[in-house]
A = this chain, B = another copy of it.
Amino acid sequence: MKQSLMEKFKKELLEISYLGSAVAVLHWDQEVNMPEKGNDLRAKIIGNLVGELHDKFTSSNFEKLLLELNKKFDAGKLNDEDSCIVRETWREFSREKKLPLNFVKDLAETTSKAQMIWSQARVKNDFKLFLPELKKIVELKRKEAKLIGYKGSPYNALLDTYEPYMGVEEIEMIFSELKDFLIPFLAKIKKSKVKINSSILKGNFPIEKQIEFNKSVAGKLGFDFGSGRLDKSTHPFSIGFNPQDVRITTRYKKDDLLYSVNSTIHETGHALYEQGIPTEGFGTPLGESISLGIHESQSRMWENILGKSEIFWQYFYPKLQKEFPGQFGKIKFEHFYQAINTVKSSLIRTEADEVTYNLHIILRFEIEKDLIEGSIAVEDLPQIWNDKFREYFGIKVPSDAMGALQDVHWSGGMIGYFPTYTLGNLYSAQFYETAKRDILNLEKEIKKGHFEHLLNWLRKNIHIHGKLFSAEELVEKVTGEKLTSKYFIDYLEKKYSEIYKLK
């Protein structure tokens, strides 16, 4: 009987996931292939499928099954796997149930309009144009928090969508340690006598050759092209329809090879996670990634800790030189390594280096938290942004377009998303330290191009579990400690003290 109830439930979940996969294919096609005029009908086709999905997920039949199983869960009568399935589905279901249809529609319409207006406001460098929209969004997100319910800060209710079970208090503590390190560390780097010439990376790289090189890197890191693709798109992203079909996209600049290579390594990190989740779990939370932060830990471990390391390029640099001899043939490894690790206060988050990146995130996190808690007013955002920016980076923001208007997240209603980027960095450093302890000669092997040891370790310790553990549980289980900023700070300090010859 118990079995049969669970089986019925899994069948429902599977059908919902089939619809979800179909939606994902339609989205991917829209970004990568769709001709421009196809947009209007595509929006309707996707909207219709999302509606079907929502109807299934909130149907009384589904609710009945879930309620019955939830009783068993509360009574402790389910095994670990089934507990995970019921617990995580219940989380999502109860969240969805708490948001009335009118609210959901209002938010969707508001953010859809806001994104258009934000995009104009950014072009015109006119924050006032965007202000009424952002005010409405902040109001709606405060309302969302209220509808969902929270302990402590209302920001917790929003954060929970992106980083489940994580509290704002914990983030504040960790980010504040990080900030206390970063600001003086950046000041030290600025005073360093080491001057890096990063212009050696600029040149003329035919796109076709770049694509080829990117594919070879992704493949070498373990991306399975039998279960995935690498394509071009305006905004790089990765999307897994299921572990057997995971798509990465990259964007290219003709004069900047590393721009596409970094982006590909980052997305490959995401894709390796998606390809590593067990297919048997497809359709249930056992077939889903844990959180955005854990996802980002994978992309950033490959992109930064590996992809900007000496050991990584000791293997790949000779290959790069061979493919692009005119550009790199005569450039010393040391200078290349320095160039890809230049630290510099800069205005745009997506172009920031490993050190300053996290200050961009901390700034955004502090502001959006205060907006949701109501301790600052939306009107004051540009001023607050610019003041903080000067304090953290030591530079003046010349325009809102390059300041408070630069990211798409707020116009899209994605408040609570930003901290997951830095959480990803913290997780990645903590995981990597453990991997180094667990795997014999890990870095020696990487130098020789053996990335499979690390990948297997990630598969076995992280990917395989789906959502069986929360991020917090996983970190403790894998590393033996709670999440801490220590490993990431140590990593940055050691690496950049060497590069910038700091005492």
Binding site for B on A (CB under 8 A): 15, 18-19, 21-22, 25-26, 29, 33-38, 40-42, 44-45, 48-49, 52, 224-229, 241-242, 244-245, 279, 282
Q: Tell me, rounded to whole Å, the shortest Cβ–Cβ distance linking A41 to chain B.
A: 5
A35 touches B227 (CB 8 A): yes
A98 to B49, CA, bound (A): 28
A19 touches B41 (CB 8 A): no
Most buried by B among A241, A242, A245: A245
A242 to B38, CA, bound (A): 8
Q: Tell me, rounded to whole Å, the shortest Cβ–Cβ distance linking A304 to chain B.
A: 27
26 A-B pairs with C-beta separation under 8 A = A15-B48, A18-B48, A22-B26, A22-B45, A25-B26, A33-B33, A33-B229, A34-B245, A35-B225, A35-B228, A35-B229, A35-B245, A37-B224, A37-B244, A37-B245, A38-B227, A38-B241, A38-B242, A38-B244, A40-B244, A41-B242, A41-B279, A41-B282, A42-B245, A45-B241, A52-B52
- CB-based closest 4 A-B pairs: A38-B245, A18-B48, A37-B244, A37-B227
List B contacts of A282 (CB < 8 A): 41
A29 touches B21 (CB 8 A): no
Known A18-B49, A19-B49, A34-B245; further 8 A-B contacts with Cβ < 8 A: A18-B45, A19-B48, A19-B52, A22-B48, A25-B25, A25-B45, A35-B225, A52-B52
Q: A25-B26, A25-B29, A52-B52 are in contact. Are A244 and B18 (CB under 8 A)?
A: no
List B contacts of A33 (CB < 8 A): 33, 229
A22 to B21, CA, bound (A): 11
List B contacts of A34 (CB < 8 A): 245
Q: Tell me, rounded to whole Å, the shortest Cβ–Cβ distance linking A206 to chain B.
A: 13
A29 to B45, CA, bound (A): 16
List B contacts of A37 (CB < 8 A): 224, 226-227, 244-245
Q: Tell me, rounded to whole Å, the shortest Cβ–Cβ distance linking A51 to chain B.
A: 9
B35 touches A244 (CB 8 A): yes
List B contacts of A49 (CB < 8 A): 18-19, 22
Instruction: Name the prevailing secondary structure of the A interface residues.
Output: helix
Q: Tell me, rounded to whole Å, the shortest Cβ–Cβ distance linking A58 to chain B.
A: 16
List B contacts of A15 (CB < 8 A): 48
B21 touches A241 (CB 8 A): no
List B contacts of A224 (CB < 8 A): 37
List B contacts of A241 (CB < 8 A): 38, 41, 45
Q: Tell me, rounded to whole Å, the shortest Cβ–Cβ distance linking A52 to chain B.
A: 7
A34 to B21, CA, bound (A): 13
Closest Cβ neighbor of A40 among chain B residues:
B244
Closest Cβ neighbor of A15 among chain B residues:
B48
List B contacts of A45 (CB < 8 A): 18, 21-22, 25, 241
List B contacts of A21 (CB < 8 A): 41, 45
Closest Cβ neighbor of A20 among chain B residues:
B45
A258 to B42, CA, bound (A): 34
Q: Tell me, rounded to whole Å, the shortest Cβ–Cβ distance linking A366 to chain B.
A: 42
Closest Cβ neighbor of A228 among chain B residues:
B35
List B contacts of A279 (CB < 8 A): 41
Q: Tell me, rounded to whole Å, the shortest Cβ–Cβ distance linking A276 to chain B.
A: 14
List B contacts of A245 (CB < 8 A): 34-35, 37-38, 41-42
A229 to B21, CA, bound (A): 23
Q: Tell me, rounded to whole Å, the shortest Cβ–Cβ distance linking A14 to chain B.
A: 8
Most buried by B among A22, A42, A225, A242: A22
List B contacts of A36 (CB < 8 A): 226
Closest Cβ neighbor of A227 among chain B residues:
B37
List B contacts of A242 (CB < 8 A): 38, 41
List B contacts of A26 (CB < 8 A): 22, 25
List B contacts of A19 (CB < 8 A): 48-49, 52
A45 to B35, CA, bound (A): 24
Q: Tell me, rounded to whole Å, the shortest Cβ–Cβ distance linking A423 to chain B.
A: 31
Q: Tell me, rounded to whole Å, the shortest Cβ–Cβ distance linking A55 to chain B.
A: 11
Most buried by B among A25, A40, A49, A279: A25
Q: Tell me, rounded to whole Å, the shortest Cβ–Cβ distance linking A233 to chain B.
A: 13
A18 touches B35 (CB 8 A): no
